[in-house]
Amino acid sequence: MPARALMVLGTASHVGKSLLTAGLCRIFRQNGWRVAPFKAQNMALNSAATPDGGEIGRAQALQAEACELAPTTDMNPILIKPSSDHMAQYVVQGKVWRNLTARDYFSFRVRELFPRVLESYTRLAEQFDLIVLEGAGSPAEINLRDYDIVNMRMAHAANAACLLVGDIDRGGVFASLVGTLVLLDEADRARIRGTVINKFRGDRKLLEPGLAMLEAHTQRPCVGVVPYLPNLRLDEEDSVALEDRRTPARVWSGLPDTPERPLRIGVIALPWMSNFTDFDALAAEPSVALAFLERPEDVAAADVIILPGTKQTLHDLRYLRERGFVPPLLAHARTRPLVGICGGMQILGQRIEDPTGAEGGGWDEGLGCLPIVTVLRSKKWTTPATGRWRPPTLFGQPTPNLRAEGYEIHLGETVYAPGAEGLFDVVRATGEQVVDGAVSPDGRIIGTYLHGLFDDDNFRHHFIAAVRRMCHLSPAESLHSYRSERRQRLDDLAAALRTALDLNQIERWLVV
Q: For this structure, is 451 an active site residue?
A: yes
Query: How many helices, marked H, and strands, marked E, lie in the chain?
Result: 16, 26
Read off φ and ψ for residue 171, nearest 5 degrees. 90, 155
CA dihedral 10, 11, 15, 18 (to 10 degrees): 20
Count the residues in the chain.
512
Local structure of residue 276 (DSSP, 8 states): G
Which helix (H) or strand (E) is 257 found in, with range? none
Among 25, 67, 369, 451, the one annotated catalytic: 451
Read off φ and ψ for residue 3, nearest 5 degrees. -70, 150
The rounded distance, in Å, linking the Cα atoms of 235 and 12 is: 18
For 477-495, give one letter per residue: b (16+ CB within 10 A) or e: eebbebeeebeebbebbbe
Q: For this structure, is 217 an active site residue?
A: no
The rounded distance, in Å, linking the Cα atoms of 386 and 49 is: 13
Among 162, 222, 342, 369, the one annotated catalytic: 342
Bridge-based pairing of strands 222-227 and 161-167 is unpaired
| Side chain identity, residue 109 | R
The rounded distance, in Å, linking the Cα atoms of 402 and 395 is: 13
The rounded distance, in Å, linking the Cα atoms of 73 and 55 is: 7
CB 420 within 8 A of CB 371: yes
Residues designated catalytic: 342, 451
